[in-house]
Amino acid sequence: MPEPYPRTVVVLAAGEGKRMKSSLPKVLHPLLGRTLVGHVLNAAAPLDAVRTLVVVGHGADQVRTHLAGIAPGATAVHQAEQHGTGHAVRIAMEAAPEATGTVVVLNGDVPLLRPETVGELVAAHESEGAAATVLAAEVPDPAGLGRIVRDATGRLEQIVEQRDATPAQLGIREINAGIYAFDAIRLRDVLGKLSTDNDQGEEYLTDVFELLVSAGEPVGVHLAADHTETLGCNDRVELAALRRLLRDRVNERWMRAGVSLLDPGTTWIDVTVALDRDAVVDQNTQLRGGSVVGSGAVVGPDVTLVDTVVGPGATVLRSHAVGAEVGPGASVGPYAYLRPDARLAERAKVGTFVEVKNTEIGAGSKVPHLTYVGDATIGEHSNIGAASVFVNYDGVQKHRTVIGSHARTGADNMFVAPVEVGDGAYTAAGSVIIENVPAGAMGVARARQRNIEGWVLKRRAGTAAAQAAERAQGASAVVPSASEGEEIHGTAESVGGTHRAGDTATE
């Protein structure tokens, strides 16, 4: 079996992308989990190239920084002045004088390109021993694209740019996809012969093919099975069109793998997301980053998950989660917000209008409604009362609250961290807990209620409230004395350990 050819990948990413009208370099615009250039590098990854060279120019520092994060093995080659694609490849080859074997050149703005298509192009090129092979596609509308011109025998004669094409050539629908495979030695030789005698005064990489044909070198054309793979983008309208095409491709792949997407047209799934069989994704849902959805889980409608793991059988409804973990059988929402490091164990619940941050919620525990939980640990099978706030920030530092297992905390509680509520403990409704509550104890931190009889009749005479009170009291209505009506705030009295209905919230 012959030794595989050593391969070098060159990605052209130096263009300004003026029509994007953006301070962000065109190749860094995002598309379902990756940048444009990130998608291209992913398509080339299975080639196992000896080296990957990315030609940068406009926004070079931004592109370099991005490459360091997504492809640290790639080398950025700076093209200070952009004089065409041939010039860009020549600079790249000068940066790798030792390169031999196959050189694969890719445009940095073709995010729909599949690894399989790149692999097929390279395999065809190497098996035929070609000097150069171009990826072509039959498109419905070739306007603005370079044309593949063949001779009478069907062999490639030249590649003509739109600006330089004759009227007859403009009618050709077979276009150059801007993706090539070259023999490194032949490429290096021909690059030095490129001319700028064209409409734009640039070194066209496509002229390499005409020069090779003139020299009698074998060149080839490999036709892409799906022309949409070769689509690039020049403005945000085209970028949006590519995003829709990629969405449909991703959604189809997941549905064929056993995932139910109830409304694919409103479901956006990043290419970096993972879903298990029998997961259900309802309408108006976005799954981003490294999110994972387990088997039998139901996500949506109206959900956004970013870098969030949803366990098997869990449910997330009309909620937003970032960097969170939802355990098996757990439930979230509606209208919940899970912030980074919110972790729900098995069968835990975060309900309506609840925000959770940097908190562990134990198995079977519930935070049902209207609550903020930050920097906390909640044990197993505990219930947090409605309208509670975990007061975690003193203006300088964050502090932690610990709620034990099988605890029951009352509605409208504030837990002023650092503070602990022990296993099996209760807290009374309306309490501000500033001291630890021992296991099995009832924590009460509130003033005793005082009723001032007849206050409404005295201070709000003639109002609807006073009239209702008169009807309810009848002839026995009590009108308070002036001295009694002046004071409406009673002194606090201890309620001791008395526990009344309402001291803890319902589940």
Question: Where in the sequence numbering do the catalytic residues fall?
Answer: 369
C-alpha span between 152 and 135 (Å, rounded)? 20
Local structure of residue 35 (DSSP, 8 states): E
The burial class, CB within 10 Å (0-12 / 13-18 / 19+), for 145 is buried
H, E, C per residue of 335-348: CCEECCCEEECCCC
Local structure of residue 479 (DSSP, 8 states): P
C-beta neighbour count of 214 within 10 angstroms? 11
C-alpha span between 478 and 452 (Å, rounded)? 11
Nearest to 108 by CA among 46, 59, 48: 59
C-alpha span between 158 and 160 (Å, rounded)? 6
The residue written with tokens 């600079």 in the block is 91
Q: Is the peptide bond before 218 cis (omega within 30 degrees of 0)?
A: no
Nearest to 213 by CA among 288, 321, 132: 132
Q: In this structure, which long-range contacts are made by residues 161-167, counting pairs with CB atoms below 8 Å and at least 24 apart in sequence?
A: 161/198, 161/199, 161/200, 161/204, 161/206, 163/198, 163/199, 163/200, 164/198, 164/199
Q: In this structure, which long-range contacts are made by residues 122-127, counting pairs with CB atoms below 8 Å and at least 24 apart in sequence?
A: 122/7, 122/47, 122/181, 124/220, 124/222, 125/181, 125/220, 125/222, 126/5, 126/102, 126/181
Nearest 5°: the CA angle 108, 109, 115 is: 75
C-alpha span between 320 and 334 (Å, rounded)? 10
Question: Considering all CA atoms of the chain, what is the largest pairwise distance in Å, rounded to the nearest integer?
Answer: 116
For 20-173, where are the alpha helices, taking DSSP H only?
Answer: 36-44, 60-70, 85-95, 115-128, 167-170
Helix, strand and coil in the chain, % to nearest 5: 25, 30, 45
The burial class, CB within 10 Å (0-12 / 13-18 / 19+), for 492 is exposed
Nearest to 26 by CA among 73, 59, 2: 59
C-alpha span between 71 and 43 (Å, rounded)? 13
C-alpha span between 52 and 66 (Å, rounded)? 15
The structure tokens listed for 454 are: 């007849």
C-alpha span between 249 and 242 (Å, rounded)? 11
